[in-house]
Amino acid sequence: MNQGFPVAGRAEVRRALLRLLRAERPALAGMLVLYLVTAAAGVAAPLLLGVLIDRVRVGGGIDEVDVLAGLIVVSVLVQMALVRYSRYVGHRFGERALARLREEFVDRALRLPLSDVEKAGTGDLVTRNSLDVATVGTMLRDAIPEMFTAVINTLVILATVFVLDPVLGLCVFLMAPTVYLGSRWYLKRAREGYLAEGDANSAVTETLVATAEGARTMETFGLGPRRVAEGEAGIERAYRTRRWTLFLRSVLFPSLDASYPLPIAGILIIGGAMYFADAVTLGAVVAATLLVRQFVDPFDRILMWAEKLQLGAASYARVEGLGLVKGTPTGPGAVPDGDRLEAADVSYAYDGATDVLKGVTLDVRPGERLAIVGPSGAGKSTLGRLLAGIDVPRTGAVRLGSTPIGEIGPERLRTLVALVTQDHHVFRGTLRDNLALAKDADDEELRGALAAVEADWAANLPDGLDTELGTDRLDLDAAQAQQLALARVLLADPHTVILDEATSMLDPTAARRTEASLAAALEGRTVIAIAHRLHTAHDADRVAVIEEGRIVELGSHTELTAAGGPYSALWRSWHGD
């Protein structure tokens, strides 16, 4: 079961949001001024209408009425223009903040330790990069600007009503009890509900991704019904979490809708009584009623967008949680003082379970070819990952020269030590683009790397290095993808190459030929081959035999076959003796 990436807490989300807002400080100040002017324009029409009513009651002339009516029309038009422009400015602000967030997310994702990505599962990362980032985008682009606008509007309207008459202003608070109780009930439950919904969505995505990637294996072993059952269970959980958040909204919104008529009714009743007692003018009562009616819209938007903010904050917690991954390296790190690769008394366990490596010590000399052999599950690939710096040992240390490999930054480490496995990715783009990921080389060098790994098919492509690769274009088979990956390694030119079943997708004859070509191309470099075909061990300078997480033999092929130990038994079994 994948454990998923961590989720940031409330304080961390607040700090991250403030960091984004501070980066747009001048634009944010301009937005607030614009919103204030827009709000002021919004209260002009009700105030002018109140003045007009009072002037008519005392016998104002037609010219005066026409002037006031004209001012009302102008104020409405100005407000409409300002509202439109303020939304445009708010959206631009949100898009800039979202672009900065996306860049930060991609930067963090690219710096994630591979072991953490594998433990969390690609589904969690995909969901955070797609659904969660999109939800945060809605918060930045729509919810936050709209919230700013609505808050300023409510404050300006409330202040204006209090200026008209403090008693009428107090009527606005008649809706406070029901709004407070409904909002408090909702906010206590919303964050956890939306976090659970996001986690359920990640689980569904992870199931879909794993099913798609392992489709052939599932078909071979008849695992279809089991995967369908797992998918249905995930969808059922996502459905339950979605139903819960929907229930929260179905309680919140009706309680708010029932609250909004109360201030208007209060002003009409109390204002009417005050008017008949000559304590306030009719124009003031009308203006206050219109202002409170106008107050309901931004206040409702505050509460409506508060729900989006809760959803956005939950997604932001998942996006920001990527930065909490322990061991996320930054910077180039230490510079190793040599090419000698050493594992000193290393032990390793997956997720705190039983050690799969137990006190392994191995000294790999620069320039030697070392083969690691042993039965399945002995810990060969795990040792390869530790030597490549992919995983960190539970105890002991892996060093390059005298420098712990964990202190070397990933970008520098990948130029020094490369791990090639049987799992490869062909990126959508040209063959040249796929090779240039390792090195920006000229065409002659690219073709030379392909020739060195026996990728003869590349010479026969219709467009050569400009041939487009991808599922809907030229779809490389597993063997061709493996040769492409090996060509990348040659172009990257690390001093140490760790090959973990790097030719397993090739047929035995092609694998033997490719390994011979690779040996010539990698002459002078350190090569560690995790061997499942023992002819690789035969050609190596030394062979390390692993059984049950320990190195039980170490020596040359000749020495170990003569010793009559585990390697000799493997060799005889492989030859059918």
For 267-316, what is each residue's pLDDT tens digit?
889 988 998 888 888 988 999 898 988 888 888 888 778 777 888 888 88
Q: Which of residues 55 and 274 earns the better pLDDT score?
A: 274
What are the structure tokens assigned to 75, written together? 């104020």
CA distance 299 to 157: 10
Q: Please say whether the beta carbons of 368 and 542 come within 8 A.
A: yes
313, 318, 319, 325 alpha-carbon torsion, rounded to 10°: 140
Over residues 370-425, the pLDDT tens digits come to: 999 988 888 898 999 899 888 889 899 999 988 998 888 777 888 889 888 877 77
Which residues are CB-neighbours of 31 under 8 A, at least 6 positions away? 86, 89, 90, 93, 145, 148
CA distance 520 to 577: 31
- Using 50, 70 and 90 to split pLDDT, how confident is the model at 553? very high
CA distance 417 to 329: 16
Chain position carrying tokens 């949680």: 321
What burial letters (b/e) apply to 104-130, b meaning 16+ CB within 10 Å? bbeebbebbbeebeebbbebbbbbbbe
Torsion angles phi and psi, residue 563, rounded to 5: -75, -20
What are the structure tokens assigned to 6, written together? 């961590």
What are the structure tokens assigned to 39, written together? 């709000």
pLDDT of residue 156: 92
Instruction: Name residue 395's beta-bridge partners.
Output: 347
Q: At what angle do helices 282-320 and 10-23 cross, to 10 degrees?
A: 110
Q: Please say whether the beta carbons of 311 and 144 come within 8 A.
A: no
DSSP state of 8: -
Is the pLDDT at 328 greater than 60? The verdict is no
Chain position carrying tokens 């799969």: 356
Give the residue-averaged pLDDT of 468-488.
Answer: 81
Distance of CA 477 to the CA centre of its chain: 30
* Secondary structure of 55-120 in HEC code, one letter for each residue: HHHCCCCHHHHHHHHHHHHHHHHHHHHHHHHHHHHHHHHHHHHHHHHHHHHHHHHHCCCHHHHHHH
272, 274, 276, 279 alpha-carbon torsion, rounded to 10°: -140
CA distance 231 to 238: 11
Q: Which of residues 213 and 33 earns the better pLDDT score?
A: 33
pLDDT of residue 74: 92
- Using 50, 70 and 90 to split pLDDT, how confident is the model at 550? very high
Over residues 412-433, the pLDDT tens digits come to: 888 889 888 877 778 888 888 9
CA distance 121 to 133: 18
> How far, CA to CA in Å, does 349 sit from each of 2, 355, 357, 381, 539?
16, 4, 7, 13, 31
DSSP state of 421: -
What are the structure tokens assigned to 89, written together? 């400015």
Is the pLDDT at 329 greater than 70? The verdict is no
What are the structure tokens assigned to 557, written together? 């092929």
Is the pLDDT at 85 greater than 80? The verdict is yes
pLDDT of residue 455: 84
pLDDT of residue 486: 83
CA distance 569 to 545: 11
Burial class of residue 84 (count of CB atoms within 10 Å of its CB; 0-12, 13-18, 19+): exposed
CA distance 23 to 93: 11
CA distance 249 to 372: 59
Percent of the chain's residues with pLDDT above 90: 14
Q: How many Cβ atoms from other residues are within 10 Å of residue 85's Cβ? A: 12
CA distance 520 to 535: 16
Element containing residue 417 per DSSP (H, E): strand 417-420
